[in-house]
């Protein structure tokens, strides 16, 4: 093989580190969101999955273990560098999401989560890798699931796409600029595309 050139590999390349983080997250067990997860300390990376069959919009995702939402909690504020006052930011974040799911009228028993405690910089890489690769439907299409209601300005903000499709969360909204039927159809098409593209996950 006279023209052979060996492959170049940098284990500390950003893409390789991201793949390693995402692979490790997906090696973690799927933990049901109901009943409530026992409190634990630390920050890190997480992904929420639909595992049920009662909701026709999300049921196609269940066999493929494609997340509906990916996120992270941090131990320090990225803008100020100050430490998070909570000792359990990852647990608190996921606990809040569980309340949102239930408040939105979705059966909490149909959802599970993967959790991975890790440093902020690595959690950031992992979150970006999950979002770019899977395009989770609550990150990409039905946005607003992860938002927090804070202060009068937020209470006057328009109803999010997530809250338009899953009404009932305990918060005050302004106008509703989105068409629920169109959003559901957009999400359905997106989910079908997610499933088709899931065979190309680089760390599988």
User: Pseudo-torsion of CA 58, 62, 64, 68, nearest 10°?
Assistant: 50
Contact 75, 120 (CB under 8 A): yes
Burial bucket for residue 58 (CB in 10 Å: 0-12, 13-18, 19+): buried
Contact 74, 120 (CB under 8 A): yes
Please report the pLDDT score of residue 156 as a whole number: 61
In a domain, 5, yes or no: no
155 pLDDT tier (thresholds 50, 70, 90): low
Of 12 and 28, the structure prediction assigns the larger pLDDT to 28
Name the residue range of residue 88's domain: 14-200
Contact 141, 183 (CB under 8 A): yes
Of 12 and 96, the structure prediction assigns the larger pLDDT to 96
Pairwise CA distance, residues 108 & 4, whole Å: 55
The answer to whether residue 180 scores a pLDDT higher than 60 is yes
Q: Take residue 72 and report the two structure tokens written for it.
A: 């992270």
Q: In this prediction, what percent of the chain has a pLDDT beyond 90?
A: 75
In a domain, 7, yes or no: no
Contact 142, 165 (CB under 8 A): yes
The answer to whether residue 31 scores a pLDDT higher than 70 is yes
Please report the pLDDT score of residue 147 as a whole number: 80
Specify the length of the chain in residues: 204
Please report the pLDDT score of residue 151 as a whole number: 46
In a domain, 8, yes or no: no
In a domain, 170, yes or no: yes
In a domain, 178, yes or no: yes
CA dist 158 → 12, 171, 174 (Å): 43, 12, 5
In a domain, 145, yes or no: yes
Question: Is omega for the bond preceding 35 within 30 degrees of 0, making it cis?
Answer: yes
Contact 105, 166 (CB under 8 A): yes
Q: Take residue 6 and report the two structure tokens written for it.
A: 């060996």
176 pLDDT tier (thresholds 50, 70, 90): confident
Number of folded domains in the chain?
1
Please report the pLDDT score of residue 137 as a whole number: 98
Q: What is the pLDDT of residues 157-171, one digit of tens each?
A: 788 999 999 998 877
> Could you tell me the pTM of the whole model?
0.90
In a domain, 175, yes or no: yes
Q: What is the pLDDT of residues 132-153, one digit of tens each?
A: 999 999 999 999 999 875 444 4
In a domain, 188, yes or no: yes
Q: What's phi and psi for 114, nearest 5 deg?
A: -110, 140
The answer to whether residue 101 scores a pLDDT higher than 90 is yes
């Amino acid at each position: 093989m006279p023209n052979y050139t060996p492959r170049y590999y940098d284990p500390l390349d950003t893409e390789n580190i991201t793949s390693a983080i995402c692979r490790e997250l997906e090696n973690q067990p799927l933990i049901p969101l109901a009943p409530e997860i026992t409190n634990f300390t630390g920050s890190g990376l997480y992904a929420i999955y639909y595992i049920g069959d009662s909701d026709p919009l999300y049921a196609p995702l269940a066999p493929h273990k494609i997340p509906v939402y990916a996120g992270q909690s941090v131990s320090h504020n990225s803008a100020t560098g100050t430490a998070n006052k909570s000792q359990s930011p990852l647990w608190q974040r996921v606990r809040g999401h569980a309340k949102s799911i239930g408040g939105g009228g979705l059966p909490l028993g149909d959802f599970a989560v993967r959790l991975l405690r890790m440093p902020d910089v690595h959690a950031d890489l992992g979150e970006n890798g999950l979002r770019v690769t899977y395009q989770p439907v609550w990150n990409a299409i039905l946005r607003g699931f992860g938002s927090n209601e804070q202060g009068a300005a937020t209470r006057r903000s328009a109803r999010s796409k997530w809250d338009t499709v899953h009404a009932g969360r305990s918060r005050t909204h302004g106008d509703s600029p989105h068409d629920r039927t169109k959003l559901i159809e957009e999400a359905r098409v997106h989910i079908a595309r997610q499933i088709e593209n899931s065979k190309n996950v680089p760390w599988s």
